[in-house]
Amino acid sequence: MLIAGNWKMYKGPAAAAEFCLGLREHELDGVDVVVCPPFVSLGVAVQLLAGTEIAVAAQNVHWEDEGAYTGEISASMLRELGVYGAIVGHSERRQLFGETDETVARRADAALEAGLFVIACVGETEQERERGETEGVLRRQLSVLKADDNLVVAYEPVWAIGTGKTATPDMAQDAHAFVKVLLDVPVLYGGSVKPENAAELLGQPDVDGALVGGASLDLDSFTAICRAAIHS
Ligand code: PEP
């Protein structure tokens, strides 16, 4: 089981340091834990979690090693900082910042090539689900990705992200099973995961962990979700 916390654009270096010092105090054997701070807080998180089993990943990564790409960060820069992995293709990147399947694939390929662990996000919008297009959307988004030992997919139905609406355990299980037919990699569920619903979602046979947004910002709720993973 893998539990990854996506902090989005929350927690600058001071708040990240406070969270990481607190996280160190928790006994989380039996679950792989990753935190994904914003770029400016990666360094402090790497330093404060050094010597623990908790990994630090970025929320995005560019495909070029360096160049005139204002606002972007490369895989080698992340590696230099001691960062372990990166999220690519989060729905907020796709919806708000013009990320496409093609750019997601380029980011994933470059990150894997550079030795980073990659969490690639896929998922349908509410309209796509209502129109019965969920499988078609997943098929299209996954078609650009290649299975790799360092790749996991996060199935994140867009309608469940930050909305408080969660896929039912059956919906998550069906989507995860479908993803695994197309790509043989572990699949995390993401979309309003909280301590109250984590055990049931994580108990599904094809749910291999969770990508947690809002609930990962609070130490008590994040560690409660990690403990639910240990027991599922
Ligand atoms: C996410 O940002 O990946 C996410 C799943 O957010 P939330 O848990 O807040 O829905």
Question: 218: buried, middle or exposed (CB in 10 Å: 19+, 13-18, 0-12)?
Answer: middle
pTM: 0.97
Ligand 1 centroid distance, CA of 119 (Å)? 13
DSSP per-residue codes, 4-20: EEE-TT---HHHHHHHH
pLDDT category, 96, cuts 50, 70, 90?
Answer: very high
Tokens of 165: 């609406």
Ligand 1 centroid distance, CA of 96 (Å)? 15
Residue 197 has pLDDT above 90, yes or no: yes
Whole-number percent of the chain with pLDDT over 90:
97
Predicted local confidence at residue 132, as pLDDT:
96
Ligand 1 centroid distance, CA of 11 (Å)? 15
Candidates 6, 59, 95: which one to mutate for ligand 1, based on the most atoms within 8 Å of Cβ?
A: 6
Predicted local confidence at residue 180, as pLDDT:
97
pLDDT in tens, 20-67: 999 999 999 999 999 999 999 999 999 999 999 999 999 999 999 999
Give CA angle at 84 (81, 85), nearest 5°. 115
* Cβ neighbours for 223, distance < 8 A, ≥ 6 positions apart: 23, 26, 28
Residue 166 has pLDDT above 90, yes or no: no
Quick check: 166 and 190 in contact, CB under 8 A?
no
Residue nearest to atom 3 of ligand 1 (CA): 213
Residue 183 has pLDDT above 90, yes or no: yes
Predicted local confidence at residue 164, as pLDDT:
84
pLDDT in tens, 97-149: 999 999 999 999 999 999 999 999 999 999 999 999 999 999 999 999 999 99
Q: How far apart are CA 211 and CA 2, in angstroms?
A: 8
What are the start-end ranges of the H helices in the chain? 13-24, 39-49, 75-81, 91-96, 101-113, 126-130, 134-142, 169-182, 195-202, 219-230
As a whole number, mean pLDDT of residues 144-158 equals 97
Residue 152 has pLDDT above 90, yes or no: yes
Predicted local confidence at residue 202, as pLDDT:
98
CB-defined site of ligand 1, < 6 Å: 6, 8, 156, 161-162, 190-193, 211-215
